[in-house]
Amino acid sequence: MVQPVYQTTGTFNNLTFSNRQLVERAYGVCGINRELIAGEMAGTALSLLGLVLKEIVGNSGPLWTLNKVLVPLVQGQTAYSLGPSTNDVKSAFYRQMNNVTQNGVVTSSGASYLFNFTATNATEVDTVLIPWGTGLVGGAAIASTALIAGGAGYVPGTYSNVPLTGGSGSGATATIVVGASTAVTVTGIQLGGSGYKVGDLLSASNASLGGTGTGLSLQVATLGASGSFVIQTSPDGTNWTTVYTPTVFDSIVGNQYYDMNNTAPQSYLRILPTGAGVTLPTSASFVPQLYNTGNDILMYRMNPDDYFNLTNKQFGGRPLQWWMDRQIAPVMDLWPTPNALAAQNVMVVWRYRYLMDAGTLQQTSELPPRWYFAIMYALAQAIAMTEPTVDPRRIPLIQAEAAQKLKAAWGEERDKSPIKFQPQIGNYTR
């Protein structure tokens, strides 16, 4: 039997939807053609998309929002903030580590921080502590701007990661708020870019601000460091392999731990800055520490009543339990409070984080393909309830379809691991 020949693409998972496509298709579900979507309607839909993305994390913990963070423990400190990007904590561990920094001979400069283990033995390094202080040095990134003119005619709304245009550098983005008067306020720099100069005049395309408006003018007020870093290992000092590259969730300020997930023993390890004009700190306090063979010991979650009823919340020792105080910026309260020995180790936290902000129409929301339909219909439902031009007879149909799509998406949001039930019936069989 001759097998049929299929004219397939040969590619997988190349389907991505920009926010503009999500908004247009959601309005299409509501019976509104893309040609009728005015700038203010697009801005409203972006705001609603942001709320939908926050809501799905608030309802439960989507698998792709689970990520690991390493939290330095401080002697005598009970409360540890996980930042506003954290929704909840799945589990936490106390990690005991062996410090192997002394095994290496250090050669350091602003261009590299090198550990040479050849005088002893090749050494496995699983975790690196880097005391950044105020961070990397140089690179001419934008730290702050001054508003020269707010312009007019922009679509009201909050826009994240708006690319800034003009000036002598590139790569900077900002959070921009357009008020009811259609004028602009810049509330914060998100990416500082590189190559800028104090006094550079900047603006932003109105395509990133709802599609209309003109006249925005900013001036670079102060500069900071840009760029990033990598951690590399080598068996011979010549051939290098990158074992850690920071993500958007990593900080490069203060004391930070970076987990490299059990690398093989190597003779050399180095920390390199990346980015034009960027160097490592060269102060006497910049002394990275290396650790291996971490043992993760489970810490148990407490309910608030048990935590409130503790008679001595400042009792020191190795942290065994934690209570999650779910404020806007959630806080983990540990018990016992870390003592001097515990402060030499680290807490490993698996947290459910919020999805990244919706941003602009040109950007893409942080979604796996299995969720595209569900989010599109959830957004359509939100639009249908707020947009007066939607035919009311469509709303029940949209609501029913949105509920079905969300149920199907949540039904597949599982890791498919086996479930083990172990009844505790010993008291009944003695």
Q: With 0.75 as the threshold, say if the pTM is over it.
A: yes
How do residues 310-351 score in pLDDT, each as one tens digit?
999 999 999 999 999 988 888 999 999 999 999 999 999 999
Q: What is the largest CA-CA distance in the chain?
A: 82
Torsions phi, psi of 405, nearest 5?
A: -65, -40
**Domain layout of the chain by residue ranges:** 19-62+361-409, 65-137+227-353, 141-224
- Which token pair is 189? 């720099």
User: Per-residue confidence of the chain (430 residues) as pLDDT tens digits?
Assistant: 677 777 877 777 667 788 999 999 999 999 999 888 888 888 899 999 999 999 988 888 899 999 999 999 999 999 999 888 899 999 999 999 999 999 999 999 888 999 999 988 888 899 999 998 878 887 777 888 888 888 888 888 788 788 899 888 887 888 888 887 666 777 677 677 777 888 889 999 888 888 888 889 888 888 776 678 999 999 999 999 999 998 878 888 788 999 887 678 889 999 999 877 788 988 899 999 999 877 899 999 999 999 999 999 999 999 999 999 988 888 999 999 999 999 999 999 999 999 988 878 888 888 998 899 999 999 999 999 999 999 999 999 999 999 999 999 999 888 888 877 777 676 666 5
Distance CA 332, CA 324 (A): 5
Sorted by sequence, the CB contacts under 8 Å of residue 57 that are 6+ apart come out as: 65, 87, 352, 353, 354, 355
Say what the pLDDT of residue 25 is: 94
Say what the pLDDT of residue 225 is: 65
Cα dihedral sign, 250-252-254-257 = positive
Say what the pLDDT of residue 247 is: 84
Distance CA 165, CA 179 (A): 21
The alpha carbons of the chain give a radius of gyration, in whole angstroms, of 26
Contact by Cβ (8 Å): 348, 296: yes
- Which token pair is 281? 């700190």
Distance CA 169, CA 196 (A): 4
Where are the strands (E) in 154-310, listed by range? 157-163, 170-178, 184-194, 201-202, 214-224, 228-234, 241-244, 255-259, 268-274, 289-301
Say what the pLDDT of residue 1 is: 64
Say what the pLDDT of residue 347 is: 95
Torsions phi, psi of 14, nearest 5?
A: -90, 5
Say what the pLDDT of residue 279 is: 87
Contact by Cβ (8 Å): 352, 413: no
Residue (of 359, 387, 380, 382) closest to 158 by Cα position: 359
Say what the pLDDT of residue 182 is: 64
Say what the pLDDT of residue 426 is: 63
> Which residue matches tokens 């880097």?
130
Distance CA 322, CA 109 (A): 40
Collapsing DSSP to helix, strand or coil, 271 comes out as strand
Collapsing DSSP to helix, strand or coil, 380 comes out as helix
* Architecture of the domain whose range is 65-137+227-353: Sandwich (2.60)
